[in-house]
Amino acid sequence: MRIDILTVLPEMFDSPLDCSILKRARQKGLVEFHIHNLRDYSTNKHRKVDDYPFGGEAGMVMQVEPIDRCIGALKAERDYDEVIFTSPDGERFDQPMANRMSLMENIIILCGHYKGVDYRVREHLVTKEISVGDYVLTGGELPAIIISDALVRLIPGAIGDEQSALSDSFQDHLLSAPDYTRPAEYKGWRVPDILLSGHEAKIAEWRHEQALARTRALRPDLLGE
């Protein structure tokens, strides 16, 4: 998988992409990240990529030209499955979407900033808009990192135990069951006996019941209730 990220703050990606699963996946050759500074595509001598909005509203808007020039240069080199814009009013990002997108080969993620982008970008250059939640962030860099992490961990070989990703919350529209590890008893707090029984079928049944109960209590919307 190749992920091209378009941003005005490329330095925000230095640490996240060099840690944990994202770093290991890069080292294994499972994913390539290419960070593009939109200021490099500006024709302004001061490398500006924003301007005042028509109509007199407060705030600054990212210009269409630098974004178009950057996306055009990338598309001249290869085909892309999606050109994504991170936006509060986009489609809500969830696990099924991550599952689908993890099978893609080439993705562009455009990080908005300031008040947003010239709407012509969204009308003519973007193929998918994604929101990571009903709140507003300063820019799209953090959502781009969230999306990248969610996709990369699903690529076979990215994590040590591939079955682990399949048992995560939301994979089967349920929250995950409680997890425990050693010691079996701490300060009188005991691990449920069923998990110490070694009976795989009964443990699996217990995990499903717990997942269902937690989902019904905490996220009934996932069950349509």
Q: Is the peptide bond before 156 cis (omega within 30 degrees of 0)?
A: no
pLDDT tens-digit readout, 187-205? 999 999 999 999 999 999 9
pLDDT of residue 56: 84
CA distances from 156 to 30, 84, 152, 167 (A): 8, 23, 9, 15
Q: How far is CA 224 from CA 84, 111, 207, 217, in A?
A: 29, 33, 21, 13
Non-local CB neighbours of 51 within 8 Å, separated by 6+ positions: 60, 61, 63
Q: Which residue has the higher pLDDT, 1 or 172?
A: 1
Q: Can you give the pLDDT at residue 202? A: 97
CA dist 67 and 119 (Å) reads: 12
> What average pLDDT does range 205-214 have in this prediction?
95
At residue 171, the pLDDT reads: 72
Contact 202, 194 (CB under 8 A): yes
Amino acid at 162: E
Beta bridge partners of 2: 32, 106
Between 169 and 145, where is the model more confident? 145
CA gap 130, 110 in Å, rounded:
10
Q: In this predicted model, which residue has the larger pLDDT, 21 or 115?
A: 21
* pLDDT at residue 115 in the model: 83
First to last CA, the chain: 37
User: Is the separation of the CB atoms in 93 and 132 below 8 Å?
Assistant: yes
Q: How far is CA 17 from CA 22, 31, 34, 35, in A?
A: 6, 11, 10, 10
Q: For residue 193, what are the contacts with CB-CB under 8 A and spacing of at least 6?
A: none
Q: Indicate the pLDDT class of residue 209, thresholds 50, 70 and 90.
A: very high
pLDDT of residue 224: 84
Round to whole Å and give the CA distance between 162 and 52. Answer: 48
Q: Does 114 have pLDDT greater than 90?
A: no
* DSSP secondary structure letter of residue 88: E
Mean pLDDT of 143-157: 96
Q: What is the pLDDT of residue 23?
A: 96
Q: How confident is the model over 53-102, as pLDDT tens digits?
A: 999 888 899 999 999 999 999 999 999 999 999 999 999 999 999 999 99
Q: What is the pLDDT of residue 164?
A: 57
225: tokens are: 């209730």
